[in-house]
Amino acid sequence: MKPKTVTASSVEMIELVLPNDTNILGNLLGGRLMHWIDIAAALSAARHCNTVAVTAAMDNLNFHHPIKIGNIVILKASVNRAFNTSMDVGVRVEVEEIETGNIIHTNSAYLTFVSIDNETKKPAKVPEIIPETDVEKRRYEQALKRREQQLSEKHGIIH
């Protein structure tokens, strides 16, 4: 299996916040944003492993700013690290205000995806990932720390 670069798995998805996406205050529903994040991350994971990739966990989702009706939501997803059959995928959410063109970082999320073999429907090995830039290398190392924390929690080890 040939290793791949982070860039090879990168996905950028654009959404427009419409009235059906908002609460009574005109802010984007958190669940709708989670749905969009999950789709962007799934596409990135699938691009990396060339199979269906399913969500195993969402580690962290921080809300920094409200997203308003009429805003353009930009979701940038990429695989941070590949393990045996799983991948750590990061999603950065930015919002562009149509009136001003200002772009604001509103959310970040980290998800774990598992590659599924198309025929057996069982977890499948994923290609190694090659981080190239300093940012990619930092995210690569952070992904290992997140995985170690997940495994500790799974086995009841408290840090």
CA pair distance 135, 144, nearest whole angstrom: 15
Q: What is the predicted pLDDT for the residue at 64?
A: 87
- The set of residues, in sequence order, having a beta carbon less than 8 Å from that of 77 and lying 6+ positions away, is 10, 11, 12, 13, 37, 40, 41, 43, 44, 89, 90, 91, 92
Taking only the tens place, the pLDDT of each residue in 65-81 is 999 999 999 999 999 99
**List of domains in the chain:** 4-154 (3.10.129.10)
pTM of the model: 0.91
Q: What is the predicted pLDDT for the residue at 1?
A: 86
Q: What average pLDDT does range 17-28 have in this prediction?
A: 96
Element (H, E) at 154: helix 134-154
Q: How far apart are the first and last CA of the chain?
A: 35
Residue 158 reports pLDDT greater than 70? no
Q: What is the sign, positive or negative, of the torsion defined by CA atoms of 148, 153, 154, 155?
A: positive
Residue 159 reports pLDDT greater than 70? no
Give the percent of the chain with pLDDT over 70: 97
* Distance (Å) of CA 86 to CA 38, 81, 95, 107, 133: 15, 9, 29, 23, 22
Q: What share of the chain is helix, strand, coil (3-state, %, to 5)?
A: 30, 40, 30
Taking only the tens place, the pLDDT of each residue in 125-136 is 999 999 999 999
